A and B are shown apart, each in its own frame.
Chain A
Amino acid sequence: MFKLALKSLFSRKKIVLLVFISLSLSVLLFLAVQRSSQISRDSFSRTISGTDLIVGSRTGSLNLLLYSVFHMGNAVNNIGYEEYLALAEDEQVEWAVPISLGDSHRGYRVVGTNRLYFDAFQYGAHQNLEVGSGELNFESPFDAVIGANVAKDLGYKPGDSVILSHGVGKFTLQQHDNMPFEIQSVLKPTGTAVDNGVYVPLEGITAIHIGWETGMQTRTVTVEHALTRNLEPDSITAVYLGLKQRTAAIRMQRDINNSEGEPLTAIMPGAALYDLWRIMGSAETIMSGLAAFVVLIGLVSLLTSQLAVLEQRRREMALFRSIGATPGDLFKILFYESLIVTAAGCISGVILLYGLQAAAQPLFRANGLYAPWTLLSLMEWALLAVTMIAGVLGGLVPAFAAYRRSLSDGMTIRS
């Protein structure tokens, strides 16, 4: 009888195909909303760990988190370099890493920092950065260390030289082509925003901006000339802090936020992420709700198509009755039909999900998101189960209609 249901569906290819497509797409949407939020949560959570505070100029905590860690958006203001020096000297601070943003290389963000960054920065479950190839030289102002994606996408290896661009973006940027940097090493992949970074010493950032004091290039200086200058920066974008005692973070955050000097903002990455989830969470709920409705619409279209052809199938049902089919048999045939279409929609939705993930992989990478090839999560199985249950319940409607009708029709159609 299962085969019979299949053949019957095949005889209505066009309509069934359309319903199948709408179901597949709606299941895809349902799953994709779930998976993309999972991917962004996982990636954001794993990007930074072991950093107790991030200090930047006065701004919203989310904004500071996004630009300083995820390289999303731009800093409104910088903070004085002396602020960094003061923080580094603070007796509660174990380590302080300066971060200077604002330049780029072919779409990848340039991060000015110091040697300590590579030892202190941690991601995931307190994992340290590791060097994949080359030597971790970071002493000369024109040394550069690049993330794994940058090396892979642009085909760079240690020894190559790179020219940084003023500002961020992909096109029509002015080049700092008077001072090339030499790649010293490539970091191992981390699956975080680190992979998309080009890391150079703060002194290098200062050097390439000699002659740019007005924000525009007014004169060109040579490398030799630059090296004779004091390359200590005036300002930086943010500071990552590791504290001797993590419990001191809250008090220190308050102290920094209330300090009388330069207006600063300190955030605890974990707490800021929590804020982010809260905001994203409600958006996700809305999205999931909408996706669920789309699935419902898909199922209703299945129901509609089944009920619509039921009238045309009365003759068929009557024939089945004449050769010994019980009303229950007809119920089963109709029920199997709905079940087959729903199951096929679910399966193809899952296949499309992985296809979409493959297609979106470059986008994830470019944004420093980590989208591993995982099997269906428990949540995704649950969504599929909900869809199947709804499909089964929906399938009962035309099945029951066929049952009822065959009781009154019998072998002949009574109108």
Chain B
Amino acid sequence: MTTAIEINNMEYSWPGQSTPLLKIADFQVERGESLLLQGKSGCGKTTLLSLLAGINTVDRGELKILGKEPKTMKPVDRDRFRGDKIGFIFQQFNLIPYLTVTENITAPFLFSKDSSIKADHKELKDRAAELLTHLDLKIDPEKRVTELSIGQQQRVAAARALITAPELIIADEPTSALDDDSADAFLKLLFRETEKLGSTLVVVSHNRALESSFPRVVKMEEINV
């Protein structure tokens, strides 16, 4: 069993920067782990996320996601790998405004290489409906997502992140647009569903209130030297 995330002596700087923005000597996340990555804004959280996603690749050192090194993959393969293996949830505006709930949830399959699932619309619909039930969402799946409340939208976004049964789920400030109660409920659902899938969950947030919910909390300042 490989690790979900493994970083060794990694360095990254944006083009034109002289000193590296990120310099992480050693950081690992085991499979199935739930982790809170905490840090103030501007500390390189977003940059780290884009490295984990394979949008950008490290300058030096090693970064492995689910046993693979994005740097050695072709850009197209990195994109497909991200689509198939990693689920993302963002802070807000997580959904494509002109698509329905179902269409949003099943959107990852638009770009997936896995054409067998892609072709089966019935199967996709059923999976989306199932996820909606799991996430306690009683909404019309044919509704436009713009008609939903923020809380509902975040759950639809979670459903979309879960539908590919990804091995790694990365949530970037997923609760900051929600009030405390909804945030709590949302996190609970997220834990439950990732546990069911046996996936690894990494939540990135500056919110200290979340700390108590996670078995492991890592501060950016601790790993980024």
Contact = CB atoms under 8 A, between A and B. Distances in A.
A316 B96 contact: yes
B46 interface: yes
A329 B97 contact: no
A322 B53 contact: yes
B112 A411 contact: no
A325 B82 CA distance: 9
Contact of B49 (A320, A326, A328, A411): A411
B76 A326 contact: yes
B174 interface: no
Interface string B84-122: 100010100111111100010001101110000000000
A324 B50 contact: no
Given A323-B160, A325-B83, A328-B76, 10 more contacts: A8-B98, A316-B97, A319-B93, A320-B111, A323-B107, A323-B110, A324-B81, A324-B112, A325-B110, A411-B50
B84 A324 contact: yes
A64 B47 CA distance: 83
B76 to A, nearest CB: 5
A98 to B, nearest CB: 74
Contact of A7 (B53, B94, B98, B111): B98
A324 B82 contact: yes
A11 B97 CA distance: 8
B79 interface: yes
Interface residues of A, number: 22
Nearest to B81: A324
Interface of B: 46, 49-50, 53, 55-56, 75-76, 79-84, 88, 90, 93-99, 103, 107-108, 110-112, 160
B111 A326 contact: yes
A324 B46 contact: no
Interface string A378-415: 00000000000000000000000000000000111000
Given A321-B55, A324-B80, A325-B83, A411 B88 contact: yes
A323 B83 contact: yes
A232 B53 CA distance: 101
A315 interface: yes
A302 to B, nearest CB: 19
7 A-B pairs with the lowest CB-CB distances in the bound complex, closest first: A324-B83, A11-B98, A410-B55, A326-B79, A324-B111, A323-B108, A322-B88
17 contacts: A7-B99, A7-B103, A8-B98, A11-B97, A319-B93, A319-B95, A322-B88, A323-B82, A324-B82, A326-B111, A327-B75, A329-B79, A410-B53, A410-B55, A411-B49, A411-B88, A412-B49
B162 to A, nearest CB: 12
B55 to A, nearest CB: 4
A351 interface: no
A202 B82 CA distance: 92
Contacts of A329: 79, 111
Nearest to A409: B55
B87 to A, nearest CB: 8
Interface in A42-61: none
Contacts of A319: 90, 93-96
A166 to B, nearest CB: 69
Contacts of A376: none
A7 B110 CA distance: 14
A60 to B, nearest CB: 63
Nearest to B95: A319
Contact of B53 (A4, A10, A11, A411): A411
A326 B55 contact: no
B193 to A, nearest CB: 17
A315 B90 CA distance: 11
Contacts of A356: none
B49, B79, B103, B107: most-surrounded residue (chain A CB, <10 A): B79
B56, B94, B95, B110: most-surrounded residue (chain A CB, <10 A): B110
A1 interface: yes
Interface string A325-364: 1111100000000000000000000000000000000000
B80, B90, B95, B98: most-surrounded residue (chain A CB, <10 A): B98
B31 to A, nearest CB: 21
B95 A412 contact: no
A228 B95 CA distance: 97
B97 A410 contact: no
Contacts of B79: 321, 324-327, 329
A315 B92 CA distance: 10
B50 A410 contact: yes
Contact of B82 (A11, A315, A322): A322
A1, A7, A323, A328: most-surrounded residue (chain B CB, <10 A): A323
A103 B82 CA distance: 85
B88 A323 contact: yes
B115 to A, nearest CB: 13
A322 B94 CA distance: 10
Contacts of B50: 410-412
Nearest to A9: B98
Contacts of B75: 326-327
B76 A4 contact: no
Contacts of B82: 322-324
B69 to A, nearest CB: 18
